[in-house]
Structure formats: structure tokens, C-alpha cells
Structure 1
Amino acid sequence: MELQSETLIEDEIAAITGYQIPSKQISWLANNGWQYTLTGARRPVVGRVYARLKLAGVKPTTTNAVAETWTLDLSRVG
């Protein structure tokens, strides 16, 4: 099983936006309310968990963007 990157690859951003040109992708993302950051080469970067939530129709928040919360339980050690 191959692990996926934490961010979408260029082809995935192109598939979502319908554009290959980064400036058009940026316009689409901004016009559709997507959060993104830009690389030094002015290419948009979108988080994978964020994209999954957006595509599922869920408004991403810090609460639902966490895949799994856990705590270290040392109560049985010893």
C-alpha cells in the first residue's frame, strides 16, 4: 500500500479546478472558497484532508480536520 502525500499533487488540483495553468487554478480555488497556500513558484498547495472534506460537502474546521485524536495512556505500564 502506497502512502499518499499530505497535499494534493498537481494532477489532482488540475482535476478539481479543471485548469492546468496555476494562475487559473488559483482563481478557481479563490472563487470557490478553497483554502490554499502558494509555493515559491506560485503554484497552489491544498491539503489532502481539507480537500476530502470540501469534496464531501463538509465545512472544514480544526475539529473535523483531525483524522484521529489520541492520548498516551500509561496507566497499565508498570
Structure 2
Amino acid sequence: MEFQSETLTEDELATITGYQIPSKQIVWLIDNQWEHVLTGARRPIVGRVYARMKLAGVTPSAVNPAAETWALDLANVS
């Protein structure tokens, strides 16, 4: 089985943003409200789980990005 990195590859990021140039990718990420970090070489890094959630239309939470918030409702239990 092939190992997948925790971050998107340069090709994956280019596919999502439509740009090869890192500065243009950064502008796209900011305009589309995607969280990212920059390397020392000013290349954007995006987490794989975060990208999957964004592409699926799920708004990641800062507290727990991989789980939706829910509360146990026992009001109807007797």
C-alpha cells in the first residue's frame, strides 16, 4: 500500500487552485478562505484532511477539524 503524505503535494495544490506559481496559489487560498501555512521558501502547505473536508463542503472546526460538534439530548428519554 502506498503512503500518503499528511499534506497536499505540489501537483494536488496546483490542481485545486488552478495555478502553478506559489504566489498565485496563496492568493487563491486566501480568496477562497482556505487555511494554509507557508514554508521558508514561501510555498503554501495545506493539510490533506482539511482539504478533503473543504472539498466535501464541511466547515472544519479549529477545536477538532475531523469531527462535527454534537450534544447528547436525553430530553425524550424516560
- Report TM bin, short chain: 0.7 to 0.9
Provide structure 1 residue ranges, at least 5 long, that are not aligned to the other structure. 67-78
Q: CA separation in 2, counterparts of 1:32 and 1:52?
A: 15
> RMSD of aligned C-alpha atoms?
1.1
Provide structure 2 residue ranges, at least 5 long, that are not aligned to the other structure. 68-78
Matched to 2:13, the amino acid is: I
Q: CA separation in 1, counterparts of 2:18 and 2:65?
A: 27
Stretches of 4+ aligned residues off by more than 4 angstroms? none
Check the 8 A contact 2:26/2:44 in 1, yes or no.
yes
3-state secondary structure, aligned to 1:42: coil
TM-score, normalised to structure 1, is 0.80
TM-score, normalised to structure 2, is 0.80
Percent of aligned pairs with the same residue? 71
Matched to 1:34, the amino acid is: W
Q: CA separation in 1, counterparts of 2:44 and 2:16?
A: 12
